[in-house]
Amino acid sequence: MRREIYLDNAATTRPHPAVVEAMQEVLTQAYGNPSSLHRMGVEAERRIEEARADIAALLGVNPREILFTSGATEANNLAIRGIAYAYQRRGRHLMTTQIEHSSVLEPCRRLQEEGFQVTFLPVDRHGILDPASVADAIRPETILVSIMAVNNEVGSVQPIEEIGKIVQEAGKKLGRKIFFHVDAVQALGKVPFSPHQAGIDLLSLSGHKIAGPKGVGVLFVREGVQLVPLLSGGEQERGLRPGTENVPGIVGMGAAARILAETQGTAIPRLHILRARLIAALSGHPRIQINGPPVEQAAPHILSITVKGVLGEHLVHRLELDGIYVSTGSACHSRRAEPSHVLLAMGLSKEEALSTIRISLGYETTEGDVEVAAQAILQAVDELASLKIL
Ligand code: PMP
- Residue 319 parent element (H or E): helix 312-321
- List pLDDT tens digits, range 51-92: 999 999 999 999 999 999 999 999 999 999 999 999 999 999
Q: Give the pLDDT confidence score for residue 387 in this predicted structure.
A: 86
Q: Are 244 and 33 in contact (CB under 8 A)?
A: yes
pLDDT over 90 for what percent of the chain?
95
Type of residue found at 128: I
Respond yes or no: is residue 108 known to be catalytic. Answer: no
Q: Are 188 and 210 in contact (CB under 8 A)?
A: yes
Is residue 382 domain-resident?
A: yes
Q: Give the pLDDT confidence score for residue 390 in this predicted structure.
A: 61
Q: Give the pLDDT confidence score for residue 389 in this predicted structure.
A: 67
**Residue 146 Cβ < 6 Å to ligand 1:** no
Compute the average pLDDT of residues 157-164. 98
Is residue 368 domain-resident?
A: yes
Return the CATH number at 281. Answer: 3.90.1150.10
Q: Are 213 and 79 in contact (CB under 8 A)?
A: no
Type of residue found at 119: T
Compute the average pLDDT of residues 271-282. 98
Domain span at residue 279? Answer: 5-13+264-387
Instruction: Give the C-alpha separation, 105 to 322, whole Å.
Output: 35
Q: Give the pLDDT confidence score for residue 266 in this predicted structure.
A: 98
Q: Give the pLDDT confidence score for residue 335 in this predicted structure.
A: 58
Q: Among the atoms of ligand 1, which is closest to the Cα of residue 217? A: 15
Q: Among the atoms of ligand 1, which is closest to the Cα of residue 332? A: 8
Has residue 203 got a pLDDT over 90? yes
* Mutation pick for ligand 1 pocket among 209, 214, 216, 327 (CB with most ligand atoms within 8 Å): 209
User: Based on the structure, what is the number of domains in the chain?
Assistant: 1
Q: How confident is the model at residue 329 (pLDDT cuts 50, 70, 90)?
A: confident
- List pLDDT tens digits, range 247-271: 999 999 999 999 999 999 999 999 9
Calculate the alpha carbon distances from 162 to 55, 131, 154, 190 in Å: 24, 7, 21, 19
Calculate the alpha carbon distances from 208 to 75, 111, 237, 259 in Å: 14, 28, 21, 13
Is residue 377 domain-resident?
A: yes
**Residue 206 Cβ < 6 Å to ligand 1:** yes
- List pLDDT tens digits, range 334-382: 555 789 999 999 999 999 999 999 999 999 999 999 999 999 999 999 9
Out of 57, 332, 337, 387, the active site residue is 332
Has residue 33 got a pLDDT over 80? yes
- List pLDDT tens digits, range 302-328: 999 999 999 999 999 999 999 999 999
DSSP 76: H
- Give, using CA atoms, the residue closest to atom 7 of ligand 1: 11
Q: Are 106 and 136 in contact (CB under 8 A)?
A: no
CA 346 to centroid of chain Cα atoms: 19
Is residue 341 domain-resident?
A: yes
- 200 burial type by CB count under 10 A (0-12 exposed, 13-18 middle, 19+ buried): buried
pTM of the model: 0.97
Is residue 300 domain-resident?
A: yes
Q: Give the pLDDT confidence score for residue 333 in this predicted structure.
A: 56
* Sheet bearing 302-307, strands edge to edge: 288-291, 302-307, 356-360
Instruction: Give the C-alpha separation, 82 to 206, whole Å.
Output: 18
Is residue 308 domain-resident?
A: yes
Q: Give the pLDDT confidence score for residue 337 in this predicted structure.
A: 72
